[in-house]
Structure 1
Amino acid sequence: MNALVYRGLLLFFKNKQAVIGSFIGALIMIILYVFLLDDSLVNSLSVLSHPKLVVDTWMLAGVIGISSASSTLGSVSLMIRDKERSVYTDFMISPISKSKIMLGYFFSTFLISLLVTSVVIIVAEIYIVTLSKGTLLSLPQFGLLFLVSLLTVFCSSAFMFFIASFFRRIDTFSTMTSIIGPLIGFLTGCYVPIGSLPETAQTVVQYFPLTSGVVLIRRILTENVFTAADKPAMDTIKEELGIVMNGQNDVLLPIAILILSSLLFLVLALWNVKRVEVKR
């Protein structure tokens, strides 16, 4: 299994297009923010003491969340390519158990996404401190941010791995990912503030597992940007921007949702692979 993980990492970072593609989701988010949302969001939050800083940190939290999902798309496609080239079949008829083979693909996807997301977190912090004139996160905040990002990446990897288990051709999967990528941005409230969505859409967003991770990332990044003068409007704005969901500031519940969802998607993916192999 370790050899498969190493192989996945090596092949991914050798493919420059795949590496660049992992940052596409974050780039789309930044372009959308700069050209479409920046001024309107800042103006709508004029009651705050530092509306630009709040919007910047909200946007960058979304970029981190999107990166954790979009970076898995390029790495998980290795399994589809192996299926198309019959390399996957060679692995499956080897003495290694099918579960270990699939976990090798999964953990290579997870590690690649974690590395990409870590780079985005560092860039986001540099942006907040240097350009937005915000404050650097404390060590405990960094620790919590890393834990939440790790769980979000794990959930994203398991979700994409489950989706990829249904495909055998890279062109079909590529078409699907071009839809899934932007869709996740909307389902996690990264492209548009959750409060501006219709009520039905808000309900869907709230129950989408990856939203829990993005909400926690937003909460950590924006923890230092609200001041005492903002308190009268703070709760409403946090609900509107998706920093708090359903008025709950609890951390354990979203973390539990991420862990349980990850395990569920991973188990379903392994089950689906075994089911397909048995049919063949």
Structure 2
Amino acid sequence: MRTFITLIERNRKLFFRDKGMLLSSLITPIILIVLYATFLAKVYKDSFLSNIPAVVDISEKLINGTVAGQLAAALLAVSCVTVTFCVNLTMVQDRALGVRKDFDVSPIRKPMIYLGYFFATVLNSLMVNILALALCLGYIGIMGWYLTVMDVVLLILDLILLVLFGAVLSSIVCYPLKTQGQMSAVGTIVSAGYGFVCGAYMPISNFGEGLQNVMSYLPGTYGTSLIKNHMLRGVFKEMETKGFPAEVVKGISDSLDCNPTFQGNVVEPKYMVLIMIGTVVLLGGLYLIITALPEKSRR
């Protein structure tokens, strides 16, 4: 156990020692929230208002609170996954710089080495994404706060779950990589594409039926929806308090992907949690199997 903890600490310290990697990871949430607030806020606001009947009177604060919650949920859904790919660069660096040769001749078992990378990635990614959550809550506080203490607690749990998902996904993807160039290419692809396939940049309800069906099989879809549910729960409750018709509130909720469907059935938040946990366990088991294989078998 002491060796395992030492490996985790070693990988964490390497992350902090690499100023470029640390800065890029820490600044990513800041850049995202600025870009989202600058370019996506108007798109989200127009989309939201298009689902409000003309006869319904809604305050500017409630509109801004809804848009801010949607933006924050999108940012966290993307950041929790993409940041892990940046943090997990230590695994590839060790192979590229030849450090793994020293580990290979040591008595440390190979699965333990890779578990050290995994848990270091989880801890470092949590640090970055807790910062992202704090920035998002500050932004929501300025625009329109409707969250409760329980909502914030649930958001933290969602964040942990999504970081675990991102960490195990990035660990599997990064495992065969041998150069930092390959890692940079993978990181760029994931950063550019993940937000679309998980429904963060644009609600899945805006896509065609065929694409919606395909995305309903992706676990990231339910991770994003889970954060949206907890981020916007207070907003929907406020709408009901203001006397919004139930069908209007449901229509808004549907348009923001808070009620995703699978095979025509609405997936409730508790099942979204089970889907994400099951995915983490499944991918985690696959990661353990892959890392346990001899190097020659892998090649």
Q: Could you tell me how far 1:105 is from its partner in structure 2?
A: 0.5
Q: Could you tell me how far 1:157 is from its partner in structure 2?
A: 0.5
Is contact 2:30-2:132 (8 Å) kept?
A: no
Flag as ranges the 4+ runs of structure 1 deviating above 4 A: none
1:258 aligns to what? 276
Is contact 1:161-1:266 (8 Å) kept?
A: no
Give a deviation string over 1:238-270, Cα, whole Å, max 9, x none. 222212212636232111111111122222223
Moved more, 179-188 or 247-256: 247-256
1:106-117 paired onto structure 2 within 5 Å: 106-117=118-129
Give a deviation string over 1:146-170, Cα, whole Å, max 9, x none. 2221111101100110101121111
2:198 aligns to what? 188
Q: 1:21 to 1:205 in 2, by over 3 A?
A: farther
1: CA distance, partners of 2:101 / 2:292: 13
Q: Could you tell me how far 1:176 is from its partner in structure 2?
A: 1.6
Aligned with 2:251 (options 213, 236, 241): 236
Moved more, 189-198 or 232-241: 232-241
Is contact 1:209-1:257 (8 Å) kept?
A: yes
Answering whether residue 23 of structure 2 is matched by residue 8 of structure 1, we say: no
1:101 aligns to what? 113
Q: Could you tell me how far 1:31 is from its partner in structure 2?
A: 4.7
Q: Could you tell me how far 1:95 is from its partner in structure 2?
A: 0.8
Q: Matched residues, percent identical?
A: 27
> Any stretches of 5+ residues in structure 1 without a counterpart?
none
1: CA distance, partners of 2:267 / 2:281: 24
> Any stretches of 5+ residues in structure 2 without a counterpart?
none
1: CA distance, partners of 2:25 / 2:168: 16
1:133 aligns to what? 144
Partner amino acid for 2:89?
A: S
1:81 aligns to what? 93
Is contact 2:64-2:144 (8 Å) kept?
A: no
Moved more, 169-178 or 242-251: 242-251
1:178 aligns to what? 188
Moved more, 113-122 or 195-204: 195-204
Is contact 1:92-1:101 (8 Å) kept?
A: no
Q: 1:224 to 1:61 in 2, by over 3 A?
A: same
Partner amino acid for 1:209?
A: P
2: CA distance, partners of 1:9 / 1:278: 29
Give a deviation string over 1:16-65, Cα, whole Å, max 9, x none. 22123225654564355334332233133222722221111011011111
Q: Could you tell me how far 1:92 is from its partner in structure 2?
A: 2.5
Is contact 2:196-2:202 (8 Å) kept?
A: yes
Q: Could you tell me how far 1:237 is from its partner in structure 2?
A: 2.1
Is contact 2:80-2:163 (8 Å) kept?
A: yes
1: CA distance, partners of 2:46 / 2:118: 43
RMSD of aligned alpha carbons: 2.1
Q: Could you tell me how far 1:236 is from its partner in structure 2?
A: 2.1
Is contact 1:81-1:169 (8 Å) kept?
A: yes
1:214-229 paired onto structure 2 within 5 Å: 214-226=224-236, 227-228=239-240, 229=243
1:50-61 paired onto structure 2 within 5 Å: 50-61=62-73
Count of residues in Structure 1 that have an aligned counterpart in Structure 2: 278
2: CA distance, partners of 1:136 / 1:271: 41
Is contact 1:158-1:263 (8 Å) kept?
A: no
1: CA distance, partners of 2:194 / 2:42: 24
2: CA distance, partners of 1:143 / 1:195: 27
- Which has the greater radius of gyration? 2
2:165 aligns to what? 155
Is contact 2:147-2:231 (8 Å) kept?
A: no
1: CA distance, partners of 2:216 / 2:120: 29
Partner amino acid for 1:87?
A: V
Answering whether residue 21 of structure 2 is matched by residue 21 of structure 1, we say: no
Q: 1:40 to 1:80 in 2, by over 3 A?
A: closer
Partner amino acid for 2:24?
A: G
Secondary structure, in 3 states, of the residue corresponding to 2:216?
Answer: helix
Answering whether residue 82 of structure 2 is matched by residue 70 of structure 1, we say: yes
Q: 1:276 to 1:234 in 2, by over 3 A?
A: farther
Q: What TM-score results when the alignment is normalised by the length of structure 1?
A: 0.91
2: CA distance, partners of 1:33 / 1:127: 11
Q: What TM-score results when the alignment is normalised by the length of structure 2?
A: 0.85
1:260-279 paired onto structure 2 within 5 Å: 260-275=278-293, 277-279=295-297
